[in-house]
Amino acid sequence: MASKIKVDQLEGSTGSTITVPTGQTFTVTDGIPVASGGTGIASFTAGDILYATGATTLTKLGKGTAEQVLAMNTGATAPDWGSVDLTVLPTITVAKGGTNLASFTAGDIMYATGSTTLAKLTAAGHGSKTLQMNSGATAPEWVTVAAASADYVKIASSEIDSGNPTYIDFQGCFTSTYRMYELRWSGITLVSAHYPEITYLKASDDSVLTGTYYSKAVQLTSALDGNAVSSWSQDDSDGFRPTNTWNWGSNDTVYNIGQMQFHDPLDTGFNKYVTFDSTFMDGAQPSAGTQGRNWGMGGIEDSTSTSGIRFAASGGDYENDTKAVIAIYGIKS
């Protein structure tokens, strides 16, 4: 049977220490008050937190729910559990692992302006622009890329797939953008005793210059019976002639490839001159026909400003099966 001892004080027999023997339990029913070094609380629940409510008073705060954080209440008198209020978070500096920027616009790009400083480059209003470093190589910037350019630019072109058109006009191809131009053609098919001719056009009314056109060239021909070098000249109103008349009996079809250069066609201070280089093949097969090359120059005693050219065969005789490509190019000075 348990016994009770009622005393006002307990004192150790050999000092100030009272020892509870091993294997024995010393129970304080009402708890040890804070003033005596205790908590004044007899029991806890897992997760409880103790906090002071006065100089000699402790109380317990039960655990919060998942993801809650411990913070002071609105009166700053006691801690409590609650969710994080993101609206009151401070802007985090770069030194603390943040950006120190509070807002962005869609498409913004961040870049460093110093060892602990970030800035943003906005994308607004910079559609189709390209990102590059500024001239001081200190920051990126949006710029408009210049249009691609070349020193040799095709201005106009035409193809003959079938039929026999009388001529092909390239009007308006000569402008102040260039001073030098080159006309190229390939696949021209002509019938007996005809040749390509080129005639300037007037800029004002689209009419053809009708003065005398002079063409002078050296011609090299190669046939089964050997090579021949000759020269020829032409002066009439049919235009510059880059290839001489060629007719070899029944093999009277000439396949022509060539080019012609024009200089300053808009200028009215001097007559118009051209240079040309043209090749041809007479006959159905290279081994059976005659091949030739003409190179030379031409001129017309007319200083009219011209804006275009006419490409034609003498007599308007393109073969019906010709597959020709003709193009004019501008060359930068």
**Amino acid 224: pLDDT:** 55
Q: What is the 3-state secondary structure (H, E, C) of 280-324?
A: EEECCCCCCCEEEEEEEEEEECCCCCEEEEEEEEHHHCECCCCCE
- CB-based contact 198:184 (threshold 8 Å): no
pLDDT tens digits for range 104-139: 888 889 999 888 899 899 887 777 888 899 988 999
Q: What percent of the chain has pLDDT over 70?
A: 86
DSSP state of 146: P
Residue 102 pLDDT grade (very low, low, confident, very high; cuts 50, 70, 90): confident
For the cut 90, the answer to whether the pLDDT of residue 280 exceeds it is no
Q: What percent of the chain has pLDDT over 90?
A: 21
pLDDT tens digits for range 282-299: 665 666 667 888 999 999
Q: Which of 105-109, 165-169, 231-235 has the lowest mean pLDDT?
A: 165-169
- CB-based contact 149:288 (threshold 8 Å): no
For the cut 90, the answer to whether the pLDDT of residue 277 exceeds it is yes
**Amino acid 286: pLDDT:** 61
**Rounded to an integer, what distance in angstroms lies between the CA atom of residue 216 and that of residue 244?**
10
What would the DSSP string read from start to end of 93-137?
Answer: PGGGTS-S-----TT-EEEEEETTEEEEE--TT-TT-EEEE-TTS
pLDDT tens digits for range 299-317: 999 988 999 998 887 765 5
For the cut 60, the answer to whether the pLDDT of residue 172 exceeds it is yes
Q: Which of 236, 205, 229 is nearest to 307 (CA)?
A: 205
Instruction: Tell me the whole-structure pTM to 2 decimals.
Output: 0.56
Most confident by average pLDDT, 128-137, 195-204, 267-276? 267-276
Q: Between 174 and 71, where is the model more confident?
A: 174
**Amino acid 225: pLDDT:** 56
**Amino acid 288: pLDDT:** 65
Average pLDDT over the chain reads 82
Q: Which of 201, 196, 171 is nearest to 185 (CA)?
A: 196
**Amino acid 128: pLDDT:** 80
How is the chain split among helix, strand and coil, in percent rounded to 5? 5, 45, 55
For the cut 90, the answer to whether the pLDDT of residue 11 exceeds it is no
